[in-house]
């Protein structure tokens, strides 16, 4: 075992507060990580982490050592990444987290051209509609839709998606077409209960955002369910244009209130706050941004 690996084991133990968690994070055996910690404690001559049957607690010396060591390891990693980024051909595995609805439509179709252009890069794409822990789960990058919460992650805005209001021709034939956002109060609206806005839909009226409280007999947690309900004539729905593009193209739904369209939905790439991005990550972010900005989202 080399010295750097011993240092990495110690910082992983400190961050995971567990030998098992550190071993899993580093892809090493539990015995190997334990040996690294023992070797390091012998070398510095003091106990760095106090072990009990239930938990690990850093000593004062361990905390001080961790602060200095983690900064040094970050500098080493930054130097390695900066050097590798100067290479002529980016390589390696790029682990991406993406939305189960968005990724098949807009990330996967980008992969053939990207992989052909960069044959040394491999892609692992995991689909999740929740906010995954990028650092804890070892992701290089996530594509997130909507406003970002405050976090320690770095982000780049890739594109914006129109938020559109739509209904089936059959619904409009029975109930008429709303001419202004206020008209929605007299219509059946399909409410997505898990979105930020719920039944309070935003619109742009005379240059300002106006919130309209809507109601309806159908409420659901799922975007696909809301869109399908609208296509069946059960009410008026709102959602990102990219989710309903196929319904519009088939004539299953029509767009409404276009001149009052709510604020666009941002689409971001987010990644851990490292000093220098690996070349493969940086290249993919720029590639995807250029592609998405050409698409009708």
pLDDT digits (tens, 9 = 90+) for 38-90: 888 888 888 888 887 677 888 888 888 888 887 777 777 766 666 655 555 78
pLDDT for the residue numbered 2: 67
pLDDT at residue 164 above 80? yes
Answer with the residue of higher pLDDT: 18 or 229. 229
Most confident of 24-38, 59-73, 216-230: 216-230
Q: Say if 3-84 and 92-160+266-292 have the same CATH topology.
A: no
Out of 30-39, 131-140, 164-173, the most confident range is 164-173
**pLDDT > 90? residue 240:** yes
CATH of domain 3-84: 1.10.10.10
Residue 196: predicted pLDDT: 77
Domain boundaries, the chain: 3-84, 92-160+266-292, 163-263
- The whole-number pLDDT of residue 226 equals 95
Please tell me the predicted confidence (pLDDT) of residue 81.
63
pLDDT score, position 86: 58
DSSP state of 28: -
The CATH number fitting domain 92-160+266-292, selected from 3.90.550.10, 1.10.357.10, 3.40.50.300, 3.40.190.10: 3.40.190.10
Cβ-based burial of 267 (10 A; exposed 0-12, middle 13-18, buried ≥19): buried
Average pLDDT over residues 168-191: 96
DSSP conformational letter for 148: P
Asked if the model's pLDDT at residue 112 lies above 70, the reply is yes
pLDDT 10s digits, 263-288:
888 999 999 876 567 889 989 999 99
Q: Could you give the C-alpha distances from 169 to 60, 155, 231, 297, in angstroms and in order?
A: 69, 40, 8, 22
Q: Residue 258: is its pLDDT beyond 90? A: yes
Burial 142-164 (b: 16+ CB within 10 A, else e): bbbbeeeeeeebebeebbebbbb
pLDDT for the residue numbered 247: 96
pTM: 0.67
Residue 129: per-residue pLDDT: 77
pLDDT value of residue 79: 66
Q: Are 203 and 257 in contact (CB under 8 A)?
A: yes
* Integer Cα distance of 254 and 246 in angstroms: 11
Which segment of 105-119, 156-170, 177-191, 265-279 scores lowest on mean pLDDT?
Answer: 265-279
The helix, strand and coil proportions of the chain, stated in percent and rounded to the nearest 5, come to: 45, 25, 35
**Mean pLDDT score, 109-138:** 89
Average pLDDT over residues 2-26: 84
Q: What is the pLDDT of residue 274?
A: 67
Specify the pLDDT at position 278: 84
Q: Give 163-263's CATH code, choosing from 3.40.190.290, 3.40.109.10, 1.10.238.10, 3.30.1050.10.
A: 3.40.190.290
The whole-number pLDDT of residue 82 equals 62
Give the chain's mean pLDDT. 88
List of residues 6+ apart from 85 with CB closer than 8 A: 276, 277, 278, 279, 282
Average pLDDT of the residues in 91-100: 92
Which residue would you say has higher pLDDT here, 174 or 134? 174
């Amino acid at each position: 075992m080399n010295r750097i690996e011993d240092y990495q084991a110690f910082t992983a133990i400190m961050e995971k507060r567990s030998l098992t968690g550190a071993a899993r994070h580093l892809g090493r055996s539990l015995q190997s990580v334990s040996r690294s910690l023992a070797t390091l404690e012998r070398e510095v001559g003091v106990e760095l982490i106090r072990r009990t049957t239930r938990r690990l607690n850093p000593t004062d010396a361990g905390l001080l050592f961790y602060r200095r060591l983690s900064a040094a390891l970050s500098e080493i990693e930054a130097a390695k990444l900066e050097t590798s980024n100067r290479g002529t051909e980016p390589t390696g595995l790029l682990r991406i987290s993406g939305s189960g609805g968005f990724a098949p439509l807009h990330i996967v179709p980008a992969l053939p051209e990207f992989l052909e252009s960069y044959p040394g890069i491999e892609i692992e794409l995991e689909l999740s509609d929740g906010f995954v822990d990028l650092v804890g789960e070892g992701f290089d990058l996530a594509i997130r839709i909507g406003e970002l919460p405050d976090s320690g992650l770095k982000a780049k805005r890739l594109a914006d998606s129109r938020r559109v209001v739509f209904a089936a021709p059959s619904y409009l034939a029975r109930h008429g077409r709303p001419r202004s956002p206020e008209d929605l109060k007299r219509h059946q609206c399909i409410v997505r209960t898990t979105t930020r806005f719920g039944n309070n839909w935003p619109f742009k009226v005379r240059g300002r955002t106006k919130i309209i409280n809507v109601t309806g007999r159908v409420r659901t947690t799922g975007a696909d369910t809301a869109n399908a309900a609208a296509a069946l004539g059960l009410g008026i729905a709102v959602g990102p244009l990219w989710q309903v593009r196929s319904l519009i193209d088939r004539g299953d739904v029509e767009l409404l209130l276009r001149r009052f369209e709510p604020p666009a939905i941002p689409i971001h790439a987010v990644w851990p706050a490292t000093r220098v991005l690996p070349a493969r990550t940086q290249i993919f972010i720029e590639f995807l941004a250029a592609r998405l900005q050409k698409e009708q989202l």
